[in-house]
A and B are shown apart, each in its own frame.
Chain A
Amino acid sequence: MGSILIVAEIQKGTIREASYELAAFAQKLGAEVRSLVLGSGIAGEAESFAKKGGGSVYAVDDAAFANYNVDTWNKAIRAAVEASGAELVLLSNTPSGWDVAPRVAAGLDAAFVSDVFDIAAGPVFKRRVFNGKLDCELTTEGVTVATVQPGATTPFEGASDGSVESLSVDVSDAKAKFVETKVAEAKGVDLSKAEIIVSGGRGVGDPEKFPEVIQPLADALGGAMGASRPVVDAGWLPHEYQVGSSGQVVTPKLYIAAGISGAIQHLVGMKGSNFIVAINKDADAPIFEVANVGVVADLFEVVPALTEAVKAAKG
């Protein structure tokens, strides 16, 4: 295939791991790799990436790019696409990736595939649909823009022999304006430190069942209670209980998921747990893919019984 343009992403001053995952995919596909590194004061990162998998790097380095902005990023990426003649443009499916990538595609009148977990020879793009329940394979016509799920593959750890070319992009016509980033406040419930977490999902059915059914198991085990996103969206529990990519990422010794289907946003938040128990009456729920042990049953039968058994075991 023709060349691939990677749009690298800088986080806390360095190019993030997800960008090296894009380099790994580009390597696997055997294409010529070019990259865009954009930001303010990023010359060092651009040089470094050119030698660590980024290939020929276009650097857009200007104060106007100090913070993510949909209009400035869009323009810079379009400039790099044009300069590189790339047939495939890869971004990571991060908050900036998913914000700008569809616009890049539409502006190029190009094919777009989002949140892929694999790119096979062809290229054939693989992604999940129906909130993780089914897998899907797509092919595309012409120039393609794709976003890749962070963590989809092992980051590239080799070398590349690229050099850096400076690109100048006029973004004075940007309409969106970055105001500020608000860091997550210290929460009442710090799940990231809990050794045992018992989480409930949409399957718990109504808010009262959290204090009645889920909290008692957490208490019996000496752990904390958590929740999946739909529970928080419905207002059953405050955001501080949310485990997931936009809530807390947790790595307890034991994670019990009751009535949680296992949508990717939730899995991202808990799949690093040491031991995962899933309780769900749907045998096809994606959560069973990451769980160590699963129970296909009604959580209202299993959880109270487990609570009593744990209390009895503790004496």
Chain B
Amino acid sequence: MKILVCLKQVPHQDARLDIDDDGTWIKEDGIKFEINSYDTYALEAALRLKDAGEAEVVVASIGPDRVTQALRTALGMGADRAIHVKDAEAAASDALGAAKVLAAIAKEESPDLILAGFMSDDGNAASVGPMLAELQGIPSATAVIGIEPSGDGFTVERELEGGAIEVVALPTPCLVAVQTGLNQVRYASLKGIMAAKKKPLDVKTAADLGLADQLAAKAVTKKIYTPARGEGAEILEGSTDEVVSKLVGKIKELGLL
């Protein structure tokens, strides 16, 4: 079985978010990056399938030089090969553009299963996975919290509202976009990290994938900003004792003390 895992490198969850000079994204200098949390669960799911049987795990990611680190981490965790699309046009595109790039890779690789994170921690758009599946003409399921091989495909559990779950059967080839908490993500072992240095990491451009000049974004961010704080909370000031005393007062006013 061949599994393609789509990874995105995103600003670290606790990174300081300063708006850039264009006002259309955040300043990336000086902040730490990490693999999108949702994607780590996707990668772990791939590695577990690999542990359970014969499978090749290929990881792919789009972005500048810093993405190499994310791919090496994935290789260190156990992925077999990595593909880095290092291309300004691809990186500047929208979700559909990213999906087209990944589709070009998927066409070359012909994976049985594509695993992706449900959404990214930065854009939160939850788009690329199902878009890629549409471009590949394969069935997909999103917000997946359970995945089991079954018959000629996979049975997956999709998260619905209020704790309910929808069970769906997908024949391969298929794409599964996973939710956080799907599994417990492993750490790369020292041995794995050393071995990762020798694993193939291919760098490609949009032109290599036949997509030069075809990735203009159709959804364009015009501005990004700290939301105007409306009335919001009454912030309690003072020492811990003063604040606690005010809180006890509020709880008494509610008739709960």
Q: Taking beta carbons and an 8 Å cutoff, which residues of A are in contact with B?
A: 68-71, 74, 94-95, 98-103, 105-107, 109-115, 124-125, 127-131, 133-142, 144, 175-184, 187, 195-196, 221, 229-230, 232-235, 239, 245-249, 253-254, 274-278, 283-284, 286, 288-297, 301-302, 305-306, 309-310, 313-314
Contact = CB atoms under 8 A, between A and B. Distances in A.
Interface in B228-246: 229-230, 232-236, 240-241, 243-246
Contacts of B159: 95, 246
Interface centre among A71, A109, A136, A248 (most CB of B within 10 A): A136
Given A106-B99, A137-B221, A254 B251 contact: yes
B190 interface: no
Interface in B103-159: 121-135, 138-143, 155, 157-159
B192 interface: no
Contacts of A181: 160, 164-167
29 contacts: A70-B140, A74-B134, A98-B143, A99-B142, A100-B130, A102-B130, A106-B130, A106-B135, A107-B134, A111-B218, A112-B96, A130-B11, A130-B124, A134-B26, A175-B139, A176-B169, A176-B170, A179-B167, A221-B256, A233-B180, A234-B181, A246-B161, A246-B163, A278-B233, A290-B233, A291-B233, A294-B235, A296-B235, A302-B243
Given A70-B140, A175-B138, A184-B162, A229 B122 contact: no
A92 B183 CA distance: 28
Contacts of A112: 94-96, 125, 127, 131, 218-219
Interface centre among B131, B159, B248 (most CB of A within 10 A): B131
Contacts of B232: 288-291, 294
B257 interface: yes
Contact of B155 (A179, A253, A295, A297): A179
B224 A293 contact: no
Given A175-B170, A181-B167, A102 B233 contact: no
Contacts of B256: 195-196, 221, 253-254
A302 B124 CA distance: 32
B17 interface: yes
Interface in B60-79: none
B233 A288 contact: yes
B40 to A, nearest CB: 11
A103 B130 contact: yes
A204 to B, nearest CB: 15
Given A113-B219, A248-B163, A295-B235, A103 B140 contact: yes
B126 A277 contact: no
Contacts of A142: 218
B161 A277 contact: no
- Prevailing SS type, chain B contact patch: mixed
B247 interface: yes
A137 B221 CA distance: 6
A124 B126 contact: no
B124 A115 contact: yes
Contacts of A274: 254
A131 B36 CA distance: 12
B171 A175 contact: yes
Given A113-B219, A313-B248, A249 B124 contact: no
B229 A289 contact: yes
Contact of A130 (B17, B161, B184, B254): B17
A136 B222 CA distance: 8
Contact of A134 (B128, B130, B226): B226
Interface in B156-215: 157-171, 174, 179-181, 184
A230 B180 contact: yes
B93 to A, nearest CB: 12
A290 to B, nearest CB: 8
Contacts of B52: none
A110 B217 CA distance: 10
A140 B250 CA distance: 47
A309 B124 contact: no
B39 to A, nearest CB: 14
A152 to B, nearest CB: 14
Interface centre among B96, B122, B128, B244 (most CB of A within 10 A): B244
Given A99-B142, A179-B167, A129 B123 contact: yes
B170 to A, nearest CB: 6
A182 B143 contact: no
Nearest to A140: B219
Question: What 6 A-B pairs have minimum CB-CB distances, sorted nearest first?
Answer: A184-B163, A233-B181, A294-B233, A111-B218, A291-B233, A106-B131
Contacts of B257: 221, 310, 313-314
B164 to A, nearest CB: 5
Contacts of A247: 163
Given A128-B227, A235-B184, A246-B143, 8 more contacts: A70-B140, A70-B168, A106-B99, A134-B26, A140-B219, A175-B174, A253-B254, A294-B232
